Amino acid sequence: MNRQEAAETLALQALGWLLSQPEELGGFLSASGAAPGDLAHLARDPVFLAALVDYLLETDDRVLACTKDLGLPPTALGEARHGLPGGRDPHWT
């Protein structure tokens, strides 16, 4: 499994977690503009998965809750983000 595939797999696990958190899911749907009925289709889109991980990374509470429930280290979401579209470290030169 390559880096992007591993990142997408973790993002899908995070989506599953998000679906079990109604208050967080509502916030994500509002922020992303996605409708609940669109999630199955959107889950196949790496750009959407990147946006999902970005949303989770916005607050420490989300990161810690998600990674704890998934049995992952707190750094896992940030590491996965680097494997998704747009996740490369910016170059400031």
Confidence band, pLDDT 50/70/90 cuts, at residue 88: low
From the number of C-beta atoms within 10 Å of its C-beta (0-12, 13-18, 19+), residue 26 rates as exposed
pLDDT tens, 32-77?
Answer: 999 999 999 999 999 999 999 999 999 999 999 999 999 999 999 9
Rounded CA separation 71/87 (Å): 23
Is the pLDDT at 86 greater than 90, yes or no? no
Q: What is the pLDDT of residue 90?
A: 52
Q: Which residue has the tokens 């916005």?
A: 58
Average pLDDT of the residues in 11-22: 97
What does the mean pLDDT of the chain come to?
93
